[in-house]
Amino acid sequence: MRALGATATLTLLAGCSGRHNWLAAAGEEAQSVETLFWVVLAGAAVIWSLVIGAATYAHRAEAKPHREREARRFIIWGGVVLPVLVVCGLLVWGLLILRHITSDDGALTVRVDGERWWWRVIYDTPEGPVTTANEIRLPLGERTLFKLTADDVIHSFWVPALGGKMDMIPGRETTLALTPRKLGNWGGLCAEFCGGAHALMRFDAVVMEPGAFVRWLEQEARPAQVAEGDRGFAVFEEEGCGACHAIRGTEAQGPVGPDLTHLASRDKLGAGIYAMTPDNMARWITDTHEMKPDIDMPAYPGLQGERLDALVSFLMSLE
């Protein structure tokens, strides 16, 4: 039994490690939620100990009569007043945290649209919107307001290390505010079952120094640099990829799939599940549904040889 208990404990602890660790807060809002969790856990442990202790005492103690007045007082204060005060206190505390997390203010506004099964990300800037996909970059120490919606079914936006989760509902906008306090690449995911590729709907949340973030956003706002007569771009056009994908600075303005303007500058491919490498890019094009089942993008198994190499080379040049 001891070995079984130790194994269970190690398994639980293993689930609290890594980029999705919600018990190692890297953001102000996550720290608030974590603190509330530990307080509730400690209180539950104390109450459980008192109840078990009282039950043990009652079972082992010598039976003797108690005055009705004392018994009634114990029931009212211990069984009614104290639980009501504790629960109301925790409820108020939790509501205050919720109000802070869902407030509609922030130095930066990012709109995120949950698609099947990827993330459309739009930064609102004074110069206009800047669109990217499947990766969110945030400035350290600055409060960011997320405006969340969904294209088809309900999704749930969650970066465990930075803050609480929030549902993304078609036809409705919800808000979530996050204030990163630690540099790093934190894992984000969809926390609401949304269909076949739900478990593969992830993203990176990269927290950067404010100066580095400003430079990155300026670069992200620029159009792609495509050389005239680029063979890979010609293949891109010939295969009709521009009907679904946009590459700013070119005639490809497809609104359906992720924006590819600076595709190669992202760390991951396929909504946060594969490293951005030429080999993975080639497989993503030819064996799409093997790599991520149920997605809408069609596979191109017939695209091989020089044409595939040229297309992959072009896509990996979009930095």
Distance (Å) of CA 128 to CA 66, 204, 305: 75, 23, 40
Q: Could you tell me if residue 297 is left (phi over 0), alpha (psi between -120 and 50 degrees) or otherwise beta?
A: beta
Residue 238 has pLDDT above 90, yes or no: yes
pLDDT given for residue 63 in this prediction: 67
Mean of the pLDDT values across residues 156-167? 93
Please give the residue that has the higher pLDDT: either 74 or 130. Answer: 130
Of the candidate ranges 60-64, 129-133, 135-139, 223-227, the one whose mean pLDDT is the lowest = 60-64
Domains of the chain: 231-316 (2.60.40.420)
Mean of the pLDDT values across residues 192-218? 95
How far is the C-alpha of 4 from the C-alpha of 17, rounded, in Å? Answer: 21
Question: Model confidence over 31-77: pLDDT tens digits?
Answer: 888 888 888 888 888 888 988 888 888 777 776 776 778 778 878 88
Question: Model confidence over 263-277: pLDDT tens digits?
Answer: 999 999 999 999 999
pLDDT given for residue 78 in this prediction: 78
Task: State the Cα angle at 204 between 203 and 207, rounded to 5°.
Answer: 150
91 burial via Cβ count (<10 Å: 0-12, 13-18, 19+): exposed
Peptide bond into 158 cis (omega under 30): no
Share of the chain above pLDDT 70, in %: 93
